[in-house]
Amino acid sequence: MKDKSPLVGVIVLAIVMILLIGSFAIPPSKQRLVLATTTSTQDSGLLDAILPDFESKSDCIVDVIAVGSGQAMEIGQNGDADVLLVHSPASEKQFVKDGYGTSRTLVAYNQFVIVGPTSDPAGITQAVNATDAFIRIYQNGTEGDAVFVSRGDLSGTHTKEKSVWVKAGLNISTFSDTWYFSTGQGMGAVLDITEQQTDKGYTLSDEATFYTRRETGIIPHLEILYQGDTLLFNQYSVIPVNPDRWPNVNATLATDFVNWLTSPDTQSMIGNFTDAFGHKLFVPNAGPGSAAETHRLSSQLQAAIAIRTD
Amino acid sequence: MNEILTTEGLTKEYGKKTAVSEISISVNEGDIIGIMGPSGSGKSTLFRLISLLEQPTKGKIVFDGEEISTSSSDVHLIRRNMALVLQKPAAMNRSVYNNVAFGLQLRGVDKEETERRVSEYLEHLGLTESRERNARSLSGGEMQRMCFARSVIVEPKLILLDEFTANLDPQNISILERAVRDFVKREGTAAIIITHNPFQAKRLCNRSALMMNGEFVEEGETSRIFNNPSDERTKAFVSGEMVF
Amino acid sequence: MVDAITYDVVQVTLLSLYVSGSATILGSLIGVPLGAAVGLKEFGGKGLLKTITYTMYGFPPVISGLFIYYVFSRSGPLGDFGILFTPTAMILAQTLLVIPLVAGVTITSVSEVDKNIKNTVLSLGASDRQATFTVIKEAWVGVITAVMIGFGRAIAEVGAAYMVGGNIEGKTRVLTTSIMLETRMGHFEYAMGLGAVLLIVACGVFLFMRWLQERELL
């Protein structure tokens, strides 16, 4: 007579689970710094390259949470992170003003570029500045010859895009969805969508994501058609979450992080960082943030502008 | 003669509808009582009341000297002394052996004793060859025989059978009826059989009652009821002529 | 380069099993008794409760993540536990998804057990609790199926894991969040590879459970 208990199987599974739990539920021995940043920062590979230096110097582990700019700041507002590294200057200034952040320190910058099809139906390679480029896209869009794909997600890139439309004197809410696509997606996905708009698609992208997708062959028909306007400047800043507001944050470690990020050694690491395809993606410009943003133009940008105005 | 079960004025009402009305019966050691009647007569409800599956609206039940009801705290211990065999055999998804042994396992009977008793009952009901088969794979007749063995192996004081041979072929009916007779005689217990078949009552029961619309129309010694019925309806029912 | 990838994938896979396995166990410990109780009893509002349970099959994982986030955020009621952005938060969020699934399938399995079995078992002298256990045992195959379905839902979801875990490398990065990350970065082939790993791992778990079932160990 068979006399097996069906609980044997349950016990076996329970033992397996206990082993797994044992290996994962061990409390961490090192201090942890929770860094909320944007997906474009993480995806560029910069953090993977430079953070180990900080981790060994401060004997800690940095937990990187990479989400959209809006979400990163929301996390900071709720006190769930110790420090933010984002690229949305207007929101950042408000964040500090509202008392959520202790300070705002510039770290590095790069630029946004306007990408589109090689055939360039809107002729933006002839544009004299970013605003002009956007106006050309608008004119061709309303005539059905061009399409603009927007992030539509309140990210740093999206905020920048909106500011250019505003500067060009155009009202986004009047844009027809036959040529202006508000996607609510990340940069990579937006570039993919732009690629699919054969000979028509334009978008505003950060350099790093564009280069990565271009080099891995995902967006073979897109090129940088306009760059160099200081309006397309993309500033990254670091903001420690205010311990007066959220006593639980690791304020000392956050301050150490800011100091390290802006130290000459780290700044030079940032400047020398290249992506897998040899592009230098960031220009270090550490310094205190100010109401009227000042920045030093890199030789790259200056050279680019020089070509533009030739 | 030992009184095993008596009921007094047992009544069940569902709102305005009365399913069982003032039923009083007395069951003694060695009795096989037949409760016959057409469908809707209330005999199944009576069955559920006596087996404590439902609470009566009025009346009392005395079992083995004690008054019992569904609200007793040890109702499951009381049930251990009453075996139920239902019309549709409910086989558990395990071997025939484990089905029959179930009641013994519940009571903590040791393995050797269980083995002995189960083998005996399997043999008695012609199921020895099917011991290890999954009970779900049995035919209707085999399953009912197994359910019978399962119910009486725990040596209850009373067996209650509700249309237990409906839908079975003559051979299985014969085996099961013989098993009831043997069991009652051997263990000195009693049985109550609910049936819509007057001929079954005639074969098996020493005392019978005809139930209609929740009441007993006539009751008494089976031979008298069949040979000399006093009520017209009884006469029609026992002759098999009553058509419903 | 190859070594780093192998190490990452193994760690990520084990974490996936830990998070989703724990959520399945927790969710089943709650869902099976709940489902059995609802399936076996008759009570007013039973139909409504069943409908709500089945509706929750479609509960969006990211909403579960949002809910857990709000509860365990520093700005939330249980923030002091500090479990946000840890595997524990992920387990809780996935448990919320598993419970209705396990409960619902259990309700269905238990309801399909012949009503007479409970009566028969009671008449053989079982207490109410013993009778309930016997009915659950009759429905056991269905219950195990419920647990497997719950596991499938947990290991395949990404919304909740991403929201409350933060996809932190080495700490809260699981297979699904890794796939999202790699896709976002344009590493489509790597993402597909991770997807294959997830399917193979899930398949392995189910095959193991079937194996136990066949040997009547489960």
pLDDT tens digits, B179-206: 999 999 888 899 999 988 888 988 999 9
DSSP 3-state of C67:
helix
CA distance A24 to C172: 10
Is the per-residue pLDDT at A141 higher than 60? Answer: yes
Task: Select from A80, A83, A206 the residue whose CB has the most chain C CBs within 10 Å, as the one to mutate to test that interface.
Answer: A80
Is the per-residue pLDDT at C2 higher than 50? Answer: no
Is the per-residue pLDDT at A302 higher than 60? Answer: no
Q: Is the CB of residue B143 less than 8 Å from the CB of residue B94?
A: no
Contacts with A2 from chain B: Cβ below 8 Å: 95, 132
pLDDT score at A147: 94
- A with B: how many residue pairs have Cβ under 8 Å apart? 7
Touching subunits for chain B (3+ Cβ pairs under 8 A): A, C
Contacts with B98 from chain A: Cβ below 8 Å: 1
Within a domain: A16: no
Residues 6+ apart with CB under 8 A from B152: B83, B121, B159, B179, B183
Domain boundary among A177, A197, A231: A231
Q: Would you place residue C140 in the very low, low, confident or very high pLDDT band (cuts 50, 70, 90)? A: confident
Region B124-128: mean pLDDT is 90
Min distance C132 CA to chain B CA atoms (Å) = 13
Within a domain: A13: no
In a shared domain, residues A160 and A147: yes
Contacts with C215 from chain A: Cβ below 8 Å: 4
Within a domain: B149: no
* Cβ within 8 Å, pair A21-C22: yes
Is the per-residue pLDDT at A130 higher than 50? Answer: yes
Within a domain: A305: no
Touching subunits for chain A (3+ Cβ pairs under 8 A): B, C
Within a domain: B221: yes
Return the CATH number at A72.
3.40.190.10
Contacts with B115 from chain A: Cβ below 8 Å: 1
Return the CATH number at C69.
1.10.3720.10
Touching subunits for chain C (3+ Cβ pairs under 8 A): A, B
Strands A105-117 and A283-288, sheet pairing: antiparallel
CA atoms within 13 A on the CB side of C139: 31
Q: Is the CB of residue C40 less than 8 Å from the CB of residue C110?
A: yes
- A218 contacts chain C (CB < 8 A): yes
CA nearest to B134 within chain A: A2
Q: What b-and-e string marks burial along A1-20, b requiring 16 or more CB atoms within 10 Å of the CB? A: eeeeeeeebbeebeeebeeb
Range of the domain at A249: 31-109+234-299
Min distance A171 CA to chain C CA atoms (Å) = 30
CA angle A83, A89, A90 (to 5 degrees): 115
- A214 contacts chain C (CB < 8 A): no
By CB atoms closer than 10 A (0-12, 13-18, 19+), residue B17 is exposed
* Cβ within 8 Å, pair A2-B115: no
Within a domain: B97: no
* Cβ within 8 Å, pair C74-A246: yes
- B1 contacts chain C (CB < 8 A): no
- A1 contacts chain B (CB < 8 A): yes
pLDDT score at B1: 55
Question: How many domains is chain B built from?
Answer: 1
pLDDT score at B243: 54
Take residue A166 and report the two structure tokens written for it: 């505003």
Max avg pLDDT among A287-291, B18-22, B156-160, C155-159? C155-159
Which bin fits B9, alpha (ψ -120 to 50), beta or left (φ > 0)?
A: left
- B with C: how many residue pairs have Cβ under 8 Å apart? 58
Specify the amino acid at residue B20: V
Within a domain: A196: yes
Is the per-residue pLDDT at A307 higher than 60? Answer: no
CA nearest to C73 within chain A: A80
CA distance A253 to A31: 9
Min distance C207 CA to chain B CA atoms (Å) = 23
pLDDT score at A14: 77
Min distance B216 CA to chain C CA atoms (Å) = 26
Backbone angles phi, psi at B104, to 5 degrees: -70, -40
* Cβ within 8 Å, pair C18-A20: yes
In a shared domain, residues A133 and A101: no
By CB atoms closer than 10 A (0-12, 13-18, 19+), residue B155 is middle
Within a domain: A188: yes
Q: What percent of chain C has pLDDT over 90?
A: 56
CA nearest to B101 within chain A: A1
User: What is the largest distance, in Å, between two alpha-carbon atoms of chain B?
Assistant: 55
Q: Give, as one character, the DSSP assignment of residue A291.
A: S
Query: For B27-126, where are the alpha helices, taking DSSP H only?
Result: 43-50, 75-79, 96-106, 111-124
pLDDT tens digits, C15-74: 999 999 999 999 999 999 899 888 888 888 889 999 999 999 999 999 999 999 999 998
Chain centre distance of CA A67: 9
Question: How many domains is chain A built from?
Answer: 2
Within a domain: B98: no
Return the CATH number at B58.
3.40.50.300
CA distance A76 to C180: 23
Give the residue carrying structure tokens 């558990």.
B92
Q: Is the CB of residue B217 less than 8 Å from the CB of residue B211?
A: yes
Region A265-282: mean pLDDT is 88
- A2 contacts chain B (CB < 8 A): yes
Q: Would you place residue A281 in the very low, low, confident or very high pLDDT band (cuts 50, 70, 90)? A: confident
Task: Select from A63, A151, A214 the residue whose CB has the most chain C CBs within 10 Å, as the one to mutate to test that interface.
Answer: A63
CA distance A15 to C87: 19
Range of the domain at B165: 3-87+156-238
Mean pLDDT score of chain A: 85
Q: Is the CB of residue C102 less than 8 Å from the CB of residue C152?
A: no
pLDDT tens digits, B26-58: 999 999 999 988 888 888 899 888 888 788 888
Within 10 A of B203 (CB to CB), how many other CB atoms are there? 15
Question: How many domains is chain C built from?
Answer: 1
Give the residue carrying structure tokens 């008794």.
C33
CA distance A219 to A212: 10
Q: Would you place residue A27 in the very low, low, confident or very high pLDDT band (cuts 50, 70, 90)? A: low
Range of the domain at C40: 2-214
Min distance A180 CA to chain C CA atoms (Å) = 22
Is the per-residue pLDDT at A294 higher than 90? Answer: no
In a shared domain, residues A225 and A158: yes
CA distance C176 to C173: 8
Give the residue carrying structure tokens 């002298």.
C125
